A = this chain, B = another copy of it.
Amino acid sequence: MVTKQFTGLPEDSDLRRADSLAREIFSDVANKWALLIIETVADRTLRFSELRDEIDGISHKMLTQNLRMLERNGLVERRVYPVVPPKVEYTLSESGRALRATVDAMCEWTHLYIRHIDDARRRFDE
């Protein structure tokens, strides 16, 4: 994941491109709202409003913005029903489910160390 040195040699150009792409993807994905959305959808099929109701504190705008980004990267699938009022459902794609596994691990980590971290904070804050 660590960015390779820029050598200036032409034969590295594709490597550098792949690397900056990786960084780009990482930046997209390594943010609070994106990960919370993925963790919330999980293996379910949720509508926009259901997502907003479940993800505590997310704004309308942040939700659409992040859903759009996740859809663009192919992590969530968006199914639109041509009815009125509109109905749109979101699910995780295969890559999204794979990512979810790692997010699950992060959540487990949080619960495993929450006490430990709380203590560290208190010590630090004196």
Count of identical protomers in the assembly: 2
| A99 and B95 form a contact (CB under 8 A) | no
In the complex, chain B residues whose CB is within 8 Å of the CB of A39? 1-2
Contact of A102 among B106, B111, B120, B124 (CB under 8 A): B106
| A72-B120, A120-B73, A124-B72 known; A1 vs B107 contact (CB < 8 Å) | yes
In the complex, chain B residues whose CB is within 8 Å of the CB of A25? 110, 114, 117
In the complex, chain B residues whose CB is within 8 Å of the CB of A83? none
Contact of A30 among B32, B112, B118 (CB under 8 A): B32
Interface pairs A-B: 9 shortest CB-CB = A74-B120, A1-B107, A102-B105, A3-B56, A72-B124, A95-B113, A30-B32, A102-B106, A73-B117
